[in-house]
Structure 1
Amino acid sequence: MTRDLQLRTATVEDLEWIHELRHRVYAHELGQHTPNPAGKLHDGLDGDNTYVVAARGSTRIGFVSLTPPWLRRFALDKYLSREELPLLAEQDLFEVRILTVEPRWRSTAAAPLLMYAALRWIASRGGRRIVAMGRTELLPMYLAAGLQPVGRTVRSGAVTFEVLSGGVDELARATTDRYRTMLERLRAQVDWRLDVPFAPRPDGCEHGGVSFAAIGTDFNSLHRRHEVVAADVLDAWFPPAPGVRAALADDPDWVARTSPPTGAEGLLAEKARARALPMGSLVPGAGSSDLIFRAFVQWLTPQSRVLLLDPGYGEYAHVTEKVIGCRVDRFRLRREDGWRLDTGRLSAVVTHGRYDLVVVVNPNNPTGRHTPAVDLRSLITASPARTRWWVDEAYLGYVDMDESLAGLAVTDPRVVVCSSLSKMYALSGMRAAYLVAEPDTGAELRRRTPPWPVSLPAQLAAVAALRDPTYYEGCWRRTHALRRQLADGLAGLDEAVVVEEAVANWLTVTLPSHGPSAAQLVENCRRSNVYLRDLSPLSCAYQGRTVRIAVRDAAGNARMVSAFRDALDAPRPGRAPIVPMSRSTYASGTTG
């Protein structure tokens, strides 16, 4: 089937048509603006916002305008103050406006497709809420899409607009449920050129690990593992300790066919010995995700109120918002603060927030910042008695295991510490993790743990790893040197590229506004079999321009620098440049 219906972000050439179509529709057809001799309507947000264009062959059909929150201004600011419409102050709010279709195409799927494209683009940039201005006579169309009136109308010329809003997740579910058949048909017909997948993942969570699809999830082409640089997940670059390999190789036939200890007793005993913890405070899991799902589903309900760090590890938002349906707030980490966790500011929020659960990842993924244990301990000790704290220490070994709050978790029933052996001990494929809690909490979680939660190979590997701390401490030290090497190589590619080192086995790179988006760069790197992680869906704080890169060995790092250089220079779909306009140009006609 020929895919002649195209969706793309606007090019320079598209802008001329957009300005002309605006004039025809909003000046002549609707009377919103006074016609002008130039026959074009410009907009005060031109060059800063994004336009998505629908076209059939060389014929442009329609467009929609998207304004992100990092501009700190919206078209609605001309009509309503932040006091009159407080949602305009929300930090992850995107404005959708000027949905415009050429007259002859208005009875087609062009308008719904543009609205769907806007929703996908916003979700890909971490947007969580949309505000829109919809003409009152078209209100049924917007209601059918899931948008709801907020009780405000604005008037511009002869046109009255209803102010509408909706949550991105709720709009996505409504769209998928209501228009599934149409979307499946359009997917086969559309030449989708936006830097976001046509449809979200089936589970709605933006996990990493796309690199394994390049290797082959059917396991028929595992030789590809030698060709792919998998830096989109934070697996260790180094092999597990020699004792781990010996334990797995000793009698693989017996290891494969034998049921493991029912409750991973040997693993827990070794963990208790290595960290000087009471065994009754430990709960085993098949990776930290297993423990997160199991504990949160037990503790939380849709009425629970949860506080997450933003940016933060996406699994927590997925479980609390999409699986359980909790009321989730976000504590914003700020680039201008170096992504540092301000414990004083967090203390004030928790004290007044009446939260059931606060999640802190330390070191934080993806920002890579570590908060000293003494500061977190003081914060938690002073927090309300009703608030439970979940502290994720999956990467703490890269800092110092003495910074763990596991000792506090043993004595304070409000605190649970979760730690994985996957990333720090090169055991991601084994899926072995544990949490530390006050003994009564630990006992309750163990009662709800199915038998044999951790496989025998994973238990053997984890015990052997814990018995060789010297080997891993050396690997962690070498990781820091490799990370600095990678950071230097990337920073030297373009002075406008911002490289931020983490304290663990990754770094982040923010791309300049004149370069490709994070999604485009990630896609370009995949052509070289280099897989990086686009952080855009995790938080709008990244503005669609930041990637996370896991540290590899020296050869892998060199391949990533080379692929990154090629990706920066690769041709990409043209986007209209910022064109400064004078105040008199605005006055000649701007759309509302």
Structure 2
Amino acid sequence: MSEKKWPLWLPLRDDLTSLSPYGAPQVPAEATLNTNENPYAPSPELAQAIADRVHRVATTLNRYPDRDATVLRAALGKFINTLSGTNFTADSIWAANGSNEIIQSLFMAFGDRGALGFTPSYSMHPLIAKVVGVTWQDGGRRADFTLDTAKAITEISGKKPALTFVTTPNNPTGTLLKIGEIEELAKATAQVNGLLVVDEAYAEFSSEISAVTLIEKYPNVVVIRTMSKAFAFAGARVGYLVANPDVVDAMFLVRLPYHLSAITQAAAEVALEYQGELLGTVATLIDSRGKVIAELESMGLTVAPSSANFIIFSGFNSEPAQIWRQLLDRGVLIRDVGLLGHLRMTIGNEAENQKFIGALKEILQK
């Protein structure tokens, strides 16, 4: 999107005038592989269960929802406990409209001393920081997109940020941090009286131990999770935070009243009851990820190691924007994430993956 010319009568903040709205292109395609969605829709049984629960909730929509989302938060805590062998209650969980609201609330509550991140990473971290007036500093990554933990610790010690963000598996690169590396960062951020925010939006696609296991020992560790990816629930917009109860209490200071609708809460509660079905697609996507990587490497392309439901690849001779357009012309929509010489594709279902591979082979053989 080109830079908008704002009218003189509009008193927009000066620091926002050069920004463009976040968003991947929303254009028709036979294979939509650009936003890291889970390609497998809810079963008819789950869809009906959600409809039934929402129907019951609809009879009380004249009343505000539970502003504390206590039932949902307790269910999310049980889900995390099942995955990680932890013992969280609702007091350690905060739910919101997608993980982006979690990120925004963290900035609003704790952003006075600024934030540090390590790009390329999730592009909304610095964007939300700017929108809410928090100073963002970039520590950078190695050329292979991995995080130099020793350098990061030096950055934390020198800059003393209130918030340090790490994303694992990292978006858009798919690379991950080992739990031992996260623990070292937790120690470093504690020494400067800061929080370590671990964005685990894609954690279910990784075999690495979750950072939630560090929270009891390191109360300054905050973990962000989402139901959009592995749970195949992107349309519901539910993200959540796992943290020490004092962090959660701070979230309630900055939240908007009744920010999570009764319908959203109800749908998410049902999804958690069907978690076995929804998470059953994760193994399928991990297997498909391996097959797609093998296909791309057989074409002579380079694929970065990925522990997420997407991959980035390079090694083509044309500009990324040109390959992106040629793929779209063939009905395949992937993502140009702005990394020099790289493109990102989301792992789809078998038909979508094969369409992507076939279209890319045709382009590269020209």
TM-score normalised over the length of structure 1: 0.54
Contact 2:110–2:162 (Cα < 8 Å) also in 1: no
Q: Which of 171, 174, 177 matches 1:371? A: 177
Q: Deviations over 1:211-250 (max 9, x none)?
A: 3xx24xxxxxxxxxxx532111011122336763232132
Tell me which amino acid in the other structure corresponds to 1:455: S
> Aligned-pair RMSD on alpha carbons?
2.9
SS of the aligned residue for 2:292 comes to helix
DSSP 3-state at the match of 1:300: helix
In structure 1, what is the equivalent of residue 348 of structure 2? 552
Corresponding position of 2:23: 207
Matched with 2:71 is 266
**Structure 2 residue matching 1:307: 3-state secondary structure:** strand
Matching residue's letter, 2:127: H
In 1, are the aligned partners of 2:185 and 2:196 still within 8 Å (CA)? no
Q: Which runs of 5+ in 1 are unaligned?
A: 1-119, 121-171, 180-199, 216-226, 537-541, 571-592
Q: Confirm or deny that 1:420 pairs with 2:220.
A: no
> Equivalents in 2 of 1:411, 1:450: separation in Å?
30
- 1:182-331 matched pairs, under 5 angstroms: 203-208=19-24, 210-211=25-26, 214-215=27-28, 228-240=30-42, 244-250=46-52, 253-256=55-58, 258-259=60-61, 260-274=65-79, 275=81, 276-301=87-112, 304-320=113-129, 322-331=130-139
Secondary structure of the residue that 2:224 maps to in structure 1?
strand
Describe the SS at the equivalent of 2:234.
coil
Say if 1:460 and 1:507 are closer, same or farther in 2 by CA, change over 3 A: same
The one of 394, 406, 411 aligned to 2:201: 394
Give the equivalent residue in structure 2 for 1:509. Answer: 313
Structure 1's 527 and 372: CA in aligned 2 closer, same or farther, altered over 3 A?
same
Does 1:561 find its partner at 2:357? yes
Aligned length: 349
Q: 1:354 to 1:202 in 2, by over 3 A?
A: closer
One-letter amino acid of the counterpart of residue 287, structure 2: A
- Deviation of 1:370 after TM superposition, in Å, equals 1.5
Counterpart code for 1:393: E
Aligned residue in 2 for 1:361: 167
Question: Residue 141 of structure 2 aligns with which residue?
Answer: 333
Partner residue in 2 for 1:435: 241
Q: Tell me: CA distance 1:256–1:531, structure 2 relative to 1, closer, same or farther (3 Å).
A: farther
Aligned amino acid, residue 74 of structure 2: A
Letter in 2 for 1:546: H
Q: In structure 2, do the counterparts of structure 1 residues 257 and 450 end up closer, same or farther at CA, with 3 Å as the change threshold?
A: farther
Amino acid at match of 1:556: E
Determine what percentage of the aligned residue pairs are the same residue. Answer: 24
1:361 to partner: Cα distance: 0.7
Q: Which ranges of 4 or more aligned residues in structure 1 deviate by more than 6 Å?
A: none
1:136-176 Cα shifts (integer Å, max 9, x gaps):
xxxxxxxxxxxxxxxxxxxxxxxxxxxxxxxxxxxx79xx5
Secondary structure of the structure 2 residue equivalent to 1:403: coil
Q: Deviations over 1:167-207 (max 9, x none)?
A: xxxxx79xx5699xxxxxxxxxxxxxxxxxxxx99852543
Q: 1:295·1:445 contact (CA, 8 Å) conserved in 2?
A: yes
Q: Distance in 2 between matches of 1:294 and 1:329?
A: 18
Higher relative contact order (CA 8 A, sep 6+): 2
Does the 8 A contact of 2:169 with 2:307 survive in 1? yes
Q: 1:500 aligns with which of 301, 304, 308?
A: 304
Report the structure number with the largest CA radius of gyration: 1
Counterparts of 1:382 and 1:349, CA distance in 2: 10
1:433-512 superposed matches below 5 A: 433-493=239-299, 495=300, 497-512=301-316
User: Is the 1:289–1:315 Cα contact (8 Å) retained in structure 2?
Assistant: yes
> Could you say if the C-alpha distance between residues 373 and 204 of structure 1 is closer, same or farther in structure 2, counting changes exceeding 3 Å?
same
Cα distance change on mapping 1:251 and 1:443 into 2, 3 Å:
closer
**In 1, Cα distance between equivalents of 2:106 and 2:53:** 35
Aligned to 2:328: 526
